[in-house]
Chain A
Amino acid sequence: MRVLKPAIVAGLVVSIPWTVLAQNLVTTSKNMYGTPGGLIDMPTAEMAHDGELSSTVSHFGGTSKTTLTFQITPRLTGSFRYSALNEYRPGRGGPNPYPNGTYYDRSFDLRYQLLTEGQYRPGVAVGLRDFIGTGLYGSEYVVATKSIGDRLRLTGGVGWGRLGSFNSFATTGTRPTGVIGSGGLPTTDRWFRGPVAGFGGISYQATDRLSFKAEYSSDAYLEERGGGQDPGSNMFQRKSPWNFGLDYQVSRSVNVGAYYLYGSEVGLSVTVALDPKSSPVPGGADTAPLPVAMRPRFSASDLGWKTQPGAEDSLRAQVAETLAGEGLILEGIRLEGTRAHVLLRNTRYDVEAQAVGRAARVLSRTLPPSVETFTIGQTFNGMPTGAVTMTRSDVERLENAPATDMFERVTFGGDAGAWAGMAPEGGSYPRFEWSLGPYAKLSVFDPDNPVKADIGARLSADYHVAPGWVLSGSVSAKMVGNLDDPPSGRSGAGPGTLPKVRSNARLYSMGNDPRIDHLTLARYGRLGEDWYSRVTFGYLEQMYAGISGEVLWKPVDSKLALGAELNYVAQRDFDQLFGVQNYTVATGHVSAYYDFGGGYHGQMDMGRYLAGDWGATVALDREFDNGWRVGAYVTKTNVSSAAFGEGSFDKGIRITVPLSWATGTATRRKNDIVIQSLTRDGGARLNVDGRLYEAVRDAHKPQMAKTWGKFWR
């Protein structure tokens, strides 16, 4: 499991309304499992605000849980949990195989609100705890919650697994016991089987910030107590089924709780929640755009500038300079009597509509009155991606109208021909860009170690030879770090039988010598309307060198895109210099991307992975129109679970945080965080920069439509 680039934490000021109104049983409280709920160790039917992303750290009885929870839809919650159990003996009292005495466990939960609350009807939710992990926390439940007035909520439910382990009143089928070896597969053979027990509780919102709670727990804590009998207890003593506690909403984003559990233990929890939908500065705090300049009346037929010597050159220079004032770079311009084609490089605005809107106003101020049609194109590494065409009269007429009026008047184009043969603007090519800075590479939530990291310095440079041609390189040197620590416990065990295409990552992190992160020559280009291409050659990534080719079909107004990628690569030497090893593989995928609307986006890749295994990856993301993304993916290939090793198949969670959301200032920077199951050899893909879909998509109609309101910002 790794996290690429640390998340920004400092800027995450959040506004989640902390009203506790009984709308669809929403709560800002989290329980000890880090899932939305007003009780302590027991679940409820409550949900968090739609889209809320929260992180909860809780501790009691020798167990610390860190849980990341996302309210996927208003009625569906997903959680990922990393637990550290001190002195835990797996298998109810067996020897602890872990030298440092702490057992680390990862688990996933899903809960769905089957019934929303009515006037008399309680809200009802069904939930699965630890449904694809090792099953340590495996339990299922059906729970009902009813609010009485604005402050009081009553909860009652029935549970299986852990939640059926104390004082069960019935049994449904038989449930396999014990912790599952390598985990990673849905534990369907256990769901809703075995002893059933009842649990319940009550929560009372005393003030806007403070709430009290009491519950009856149906979890006997057999695992933690070692063999189920108290004398063998190695973690804590469960003396009572009753738990009591309170939580306090410190600020809009922070909630803390304190509890007295099982008649013997004190528990604490802290939750930090944030709402991707609300930005600290709605609409952004960028400085004002230039206003539209009106043409003098009757001037539009004056074509004198076409015949004036030198006029066109000075126009170009003026356009380039004025665009630069808006943070936009002119890649090329073609002026005809009444039309202008302008190709931009947008290095500032994360919302493309804003870039196009600012460019349109610049053109209204700089171009001769006879130019009536503007076509403003966007680029990625010199490759035209999408263009918006508008009339200058509309720009003048609709400056103070709602942005939707302008949207109805513009046309989007993905035609490459419009830009063919355009001379690049002087100074754009060739050009050299470089940067030097620190880097941190984190690996968190390993089965062996909660946090590992390398810190060092990285020098990177791009040489843009000509439009579409990029020579790119990056060298880094580690200063300190422990990513190369030898594995112990589970992550080293059962490595599977596949070629080691990813699992020897540690060997790439050894030593402090400078290493080449990548060194590539890439060519981006258009193969016609709707078609895009990329070829990248060289040292593609940390572990592989070779050639990578990709084509993408993406009509400018389509929510669907199709792509194909073919790579032939050799595994690089562990020292990450110029040598390669003798493992080579042809790998590639066909991909489909689809924007379902409503903020949901899907991607499917089918093909051959690095170990030569065949299979498919399915990814589903919830996308917020300010750039936030929270998603999950799974990869299943024709490798058996045994051959794959722990985790059984590759899966992970990915989160994208746009920096503009936190700072309020337009910037294209963002943080991508990937929480992956163990880095294994099955279902592993090549990492290559500049994949086309993300590069092209933002400049196309479906994406620009979502945030078109920024055209006039």
Chain B
Amino acid sequence: MIVKRSIAALAACLALAACGNRSDQNQIFKTLSAGFLKKGDQQGGSVTPEQVAIAIQQSLQGTDLPLALAVMDKRNATAILTRIETNGAYGTWGTSDRRTIILRGGLVTGTRGLGNDVMSSEIDAVAALVSARKGGTATRVQRYLDGENHTVALVAECTVARGGAKHVKIGEINTRVTEMTERCSAGQTQFENSYMVDPSGYAVQARQWLSPANGHISIQALRR
């Protein structure tokens, strides 16, 4: 029996690919994880609102850490983000499958593990306007890695405009907000971000453009 099984294993080694104990052995068989976040059930693809509500409730009960809900339309993916680390004004928010988003005042400054990641950003001027809930123009810079791993910068001219007052109530967030929109243009690339900013200047809800491959991400604070 054992002999048979060993022979079968050996045959599998030879037929499929190499086997062994070298540390680089199985790396290449890990496929690209398109599902940045937990995808919904197999059939529908997207997650139902009920599933999201349950996930939010469970997460809020399961931890004391700040939480947020993220949705990426282009990848049809939804996930709970947990703030796993802070560095000054920056917070690193992670998913259970090891993708992270870096936020400053609710604005995305970086991503890791999504592919075509935002490596770093210059958003001081934009963030100042958004946080103060004032209109104006500002320059935004987002840096990426290209196919040769060179850093390339996208420099966008952005116009920030103040919208109406609203109320946001989700998770442990229950606050008055001011809607702010940001229209950006960088040559051929045009994108629009929008933020719901609470009285403290934090964007508790935001829909922001990440990169050509990832499109927009929506982030909703659940607990700050």
Q: When the two chains form their complex, are residues B22 and A433 in contact, meaning their CB atoms are under 8 A apart? A: yes
Interface magnitude class on chain B? 35 or more
Asked if B119 lies at the interface with its beta carbon under 8 angstroms from chain A, I say: yes
Q: When the two chains form their complex, are residues B14 and A437 in contact, meaning their CB atoms are under 8 A apart? A: yes
Nearest Cβ on chain B to A174's Cβ, whole angstroms: 49
Pairs A–B under 8 Å by Cβ, sample size 29:
A275-B147, A278-B147, A279-B147, A279-B148, A283-B116, A283-B119, A283-B145, A285-B115, A288-B99, A400-B102, A401-B120, A403-B120, A433-B22, A434-B22, A435-B18, A435-B20, A436-B13, A437-B14, A437-B18, A438-B14, A626-B147, A663-B28, A663-B31, A664-B32, A664-B115, A665-B27, A669-B27, A709-B119, A709-B150
- A residues near B17, Cβ cutoff 8 Å: 437-438
Interface string of B91-102 (1 = CB under 8 A from A): 010100111101
Query: How many residue pairs at the A-B interface have CB separations less than 8 Å?
Result: 165
Asked if B51 lies at the interface with its beta carbon under 8 angstroms from chain A, I say: no
Asked if A307 lies at the interface with its beta carbon under 8 angstroms from chain B, I say: no
Report the bound CA distance from A50 to B174 in whole Å: 55
Q: When the two chains form their complex, are residues A712 and B120 in contact, meaning their CB atoms are under 8 A apart? A: yes
Q: Given the known A-B contacts A285-B115, A288-B99, A663-B32, are A709 and B24 also in contact in the complex, defined by CB atoms under 8 Å?
A: no
Asked if B215 lies at the interface with its beta carbon under 8 angstroms from chain A, I say: no
Output the nearest chain A residue to B9 by Cβ-Cβ distance.
A436
Identify the interface centre among A404, A665, A666: most chain B CB within 10 Å of its CB.
A665
Q: When the two chains form their complex, are residues A291 and B84 in contact, meaning their CB atoms are under 8 A apart? A: yes
Interface string of A276-287 (1 = CB under 8 A from B): 111101111111
Nearest Cβ on chain A to B138's Cβ, whole angstroms: 18
Nearest Cβ on chain B to A704's Cβ, whole angstroms: 11
Q: When the two chains form their complex, are residues A437 and B116 in contact, meaning their CB atoms are under 8 A apart? A: no
- B residues near A348, Cβ cutoff 8 Å: 23-24, 27
Asked if A667 lies at the interface with its beta carbon under 8 angstroms from chain B, I say: yes
Report the bound CA distance from A713 to B22 in whole Å: 24
Given contacts A281-B32, A708-B151, 8 further A-B contacts (CB under 8 A): A287-B113, A289-B112, A291-B84, A400-B110, A626-B147, A663-B31, A664-B32, A707-B150
Report the bound CA distance from A292 to B100 in whole Å: 13
- A interface residues, Cβ below 8 angstroms from B: 275-279, 281-289, 291-294, 327, 329, 347-348, 351, 396, 399-404, 432-438, 457, 624-626, 659, 661, 663-669, 706-710, 712-713
- B residues near A707, Cβ cutoff 8 Å: 148-150
Interface string of B131-157 (1 = CB under 8 A from A): 000000000000111111111000000
Nearest Cβ on chain A to B57's Cβ, whole angstroms: 26
Asked if B42 lies at the interface with its beta carbon under 8 angstroms from chain A, I say: no
- Of B92, B98, B104, B144, which is within 8 A of A283 by CB? B144
- B residues near A281, Cβ cutoff 8 Å: 32, 115-116, 213
- A residues near B190, Cβ cutoff 8 Å: none
Nearest Cβ on chain A to B97's Cβ, whole angstroms: 7
Asked if B86 lies at the interface with its beta carbon under 8 angstroms from chain A, I say: yes
Asked if B209 lies at the interface with its beta carbon under 8 angstroms from chain A, I say: no
